[in-house]
Structure 1
Amino acid sequence: MSVWPSSSAHHRWLDQHSRELLAFGRRTADPGGGARWLGERGEPMPGRPVSVLISSRMTHVYGIGALLGVPGAGRIAARAMAGLTGRLRDPRGGWFPAVAADGTPEPGKSCYDHAFVLLAASTAVQAGLDGADRLLSEAAEVLLSRFWDEEIGLCADTWDTGFTALDDYRGINANMHAVEAMLSAASVTGDHAWVARALRICRFVVTVAEAHRWRIPEHYDAAWQPLPEYHREEPEHPFKPYGATIGHGLEWARLLLHAASAPTAGAPAWLTTAARELFARAVTDGWAVDGRPGFVYTTDWTGRPVVRDRMHWVAAEAVHAAAALHAHTGEAAYAQWYRTWWDYIDEFLIDHEHGSWFHQLDPENAPTATVWPGKADLYHAFQATLGPRVPLWPMLATAVDRHLA
């Protein structure tokens, strides 16, 4: 029997599914520039502002679609990117989180958003989009000058709109996506200073995760001391929930392997060891622990489930991490998990009637929308169809261009 992560027949299915996802999201492009939040059938959801997050993610997705030779994908990527070079860009520096239909920008500037701009710009350069080089240069300058702390080796989290007051909160989620963006920028530009920065973030996360039995503290004060009770009263927060986030353990496991595979990283063994441990903890704490298939969203610091809803992105990161660990180690157990989770995704998460994936399921695996209404974007699901088909290095856009284009 063929091993799914490396099976050519399975890769053909992945390719077909990636193209189905791209077809579902075609209406994301906003005429005024940027990408729109999508509803259950791929329709733009009314009343939602154009955000830098969705615009960046869809620039990335459709930029890769263009590299795959999908007609129209380059046009959609360019329209999504036009929001980043247009109304979402603050002429005084950086990017607004979102802009309403009347042109009113949402206040604040976050590292999370700016990391995705760097990712989008890197992919846009790889895809050859007009203006992408300028966007990448600006995104890199803002991330390094406003968020990156060279002394500590981590990124700060949130500024006010004018970059005059830095919030005391520090977060791992923003740093996780900064690692992805930094490694992507290194892949596209060949500037491996980005890899060195990413490795510093990885070292911190591995150290603190190991001290907490491989459950990652997400929230910190200005001195980078953990805040384990943060958002205890708001456990379903979409970006900063209380406790340990199962999906982030899986996502970090994969990112550590990407970092370990970078030519200038030297393949340090601690990255592979940590990837294994994070994966094992996430599976033990998160998979089918309440008698039903699926990953719970969060746990407390003993591993007890807190939010039992199933988020689509967690399953996407699970198959992506399992494929990465199988590619890196060759161990059959990872291939079996990979197959188990794709079967789950097919049964419960893929919407076989209307397309894409349900973004949130309740503990009984029925669609719900208390945290993620609609089907906002394609980022996690689309990447899960690509990762198993390309090497761990370079990162996705460059790897697709070299191996799948």
Structure 2
Amino acid sequence: MTDANTTLPKTNSSPWTSRPFHRQYLMRQANNLFDFFEAPSLNPKGGFFELDDEGKALSAANSTRQVHGTTRMVHSFAIGSLIGRPGSGEMVDHGMDYIWNKHRDAKHGGYVWGLDDNGVTDGTKQAYGHAFVMLAASSAKLVGHPLADKMLADVTEVIERRFWDEKVGAVREEFANDWSQITTYRGQNSNMHLTEALMAAYEATGEKAYLTKAERIAELIIAKHAVPLGHRVAEHFDENWVLDKQYLGSEMFRPSGVTPGHALEWARLLMQLWILGDKRLSWMTDAARNLFRQAIELGWDTQHGGFFYTLDWDNKPIMREKLWWPVAEAIGAAAFLSAYDRDDYFQIWYRKLWDHAENHVIDHARGGWLSELTEDLKPTSRLFTGKPDIYHALQACLIPLYPATGSLTAAIIEAEHTVKQHH
């Protein structure tokens, strides 16, 4: 057991998530994030600005908007709308308009990666970006946005026709603007985020086909690859889904080796998928527990705290920077696992992770969460500049507040219905 006792004393064993103070703390942190991101992010020329550490636009003059950034803002503010945060609806409208009228490629179909005020800066069609378009459309549907159904139908058709490889049960990675092939690379990350989006689409529509695809991806990435690798999530593959351990790509989107943060993200997604699939695929809960434990055992820095960003295949750190998002994902996973597993391990880590976030990651002076720390937990910006997005941190604050029954958006709606019935 890494760096924490294995059992909680009876006097302190009730879950934090059931304590009124902790629940208020979580809602306050979520509200602080909305305060930090809402007004300064809104780009009057469409889409959203990325923010620096102070909460000002990184490049106000002619800002580049990437599709995953636009869509995550829509998803996050749809969550804001569902919990009753005033101002959220306009943010959703603003983002949906930009996705539909700018990111969407009216000529070739699909959604382009990057734009600025003058038009397309990167016209490639990325599976990763399309996964987030599906997530944004699904979340927007839950708040009744008029474009949501159209966008969800459109992106579903594009993913089905262009990206989905029925033979293997996963998506191809990327194409040129006109859908010609630019690489034979296959990646875990885009498929993981598509799993998240497919579950959200299933919850928003009730259409089983979305859930089936999500289960097939989990089967390939986790059951077929991660479990035999000692519950380490392999990131990079060739076109036949053979693992490429030597792969060197973008440090931000495709870092080499193993990324503990992705195992933590998968731990929660597998629990969600198990629940949405009527708890019939029992391998998922076992895999989720082991992915979480392995990410902690191998990825957590016992000296300084925080997760090393990447490890090599001998489990040694490659990139020793500590990023904000693995902590956020670990919190969500610990909350989910604690809801179904009586083992104190998950609750102990839930508390330890919030201790770490409170003392090192949350920027109490300026707002938001620090995106990157050095090995010994000093703010740095080797990989990330400023505070890249609200999405990971917001979900860490809100997932523990709602029933562990599926995606956060659907859980919020379910909780509201329960409250109504009691009145």
- State the TM bucket, normalised to the shorter chain: over 0.9
Paired residue for 2:385, among 373, 377, 380?
A: 373
How far did residue 404 of structure 1 move? 5.0
Paired residue for 2:239, among 200, 211, 222?
A: 222
Paired residue for 1:208, among 199, 217, 225?
A: 225
Structure 2, gaps ≥5 residues long: 1-11, 418-423
Change (3 A) 1:265 1:146: farther
SS in 1 for 2:227: helix
Deviates more, 1:314-323 or 1:23-32: 23-32
Match of 1:38 in 2: 51
Percent identity (aligned): 35
Paired residue for 1:192, among 202, 208, 223?
A: 208
SS in 1 for 2:112: coil
Paired residue for 2:286, among 252, 273, 278?
A: 273
Does structure 1 residue 135 correspond to structure 2 residue 151? yes
Deviates more, 1:315-324 or 1:36-45: 36-45
Paired residue for 2:305, among 278, 293, 297?
A: 293
Q: Quote the Cα distance in structure 2 between the aligned partners of 1:42 and 1:400.
A: 28
Does structure 1 residue 168 correspond to structure 2 residue 206? no
How far did residue 166 of structure 1 move? 5.2
> Cα deviations across residues 108-163 of structure 1 (Å, max 9, x unaligned)?
11000000000000000101122111111111111111111112111110011111
Does structure 1 residue 252 correspond to structure 2 residue 269? no
SS in 2 for 1:105: strand
Equivalent residues of 1:33, 1:86 under 8 A apart = no
How far did residue 265 of structure 1 move? 4.4
Match of 2:6 in 1: none
Q: Quote the Cα distance in structure 2 between the aligned partners of 1:35 and 1:70.
A: 19
Q: Quote the Cα distance in structure 2 between the aligned partners of 1:224 and 1:288.
A: 31
SS in 2 for 1:313: helix
Does structure 1 residue 348 correspond to structure 2 residue 376? no
The residue identity in structure 1 corresponding to 2:400 is: P
Match of 2:165 in 1: 149
TM-score (norm 1): 0.96
How far did residue 173 of structure 1 move? 0.2
Equivalent residues of 1:195, 1:265 under 8 A apart = no
How far did residue 167 of structure 1 move? 2.1
Q: Quote the Cα distance in structure 2 between the aligned partners of 1:142 and 1:166.
A: 17
SS in 1 for 2:69: helix
How far did residue 402 of structure 1 move? 2.4
Q: Quote the Cα distance in structure 1 between the aligned partners of 2:18 and 2:327.
A: 19
Q: Quote the Cα distance in structure 1 between the aligned partners of 2:127 and 2:54.
A: 31
Equivalent residues of 1:35, 1:83 under 8 A apart = no
Deviates more, 1:203-212 or 1:359-368: 203-212
The residue identity in structure 1 corresponding to 2:29 is: H
How far did residue 260 of structure 1 move? 0.3
SS in 2 for 1:104: strand
Q: Quote the Cα distance in structure 1 between the aligned partners of 2:308 and 2:102.
A: 37
Does structure 1 residue 327 correspond to structure 2 residue 339? yes
SS in 2 for 1:168: coil
Q: Quote the Cα distance in structure 2 between the aligned partners of 1:127 and 1:392.
A: 20
Does structure 1 residue 113 correspond to structure 2 residue 129? yes
The residue identity in structure 2 corresponding to 1:200 is: R
Match of 1:76 in 2: 91
How far did residue 78 of structure 1 move? 1.1
Equivalent residues of 1:33, 1:81 under 8 A apart = no
How far did residue 349 of structure 1 move? 0.4
Match of 2:64 in 1: 49
Q: Quote the Cα distance in structure 2 between the aligned partners of 1:267 and 1:324.
A: 18
The residue identity in structure 2 corresponding to 1:70 is: R
Q: Quote the Cα distance in structure 2 between the aligned partners of 1:320 and 1:260.
A: 16
Q: Quote the Cα distance in structure 2 between the aligned partners of 1:105 and 1:145.
A: 25
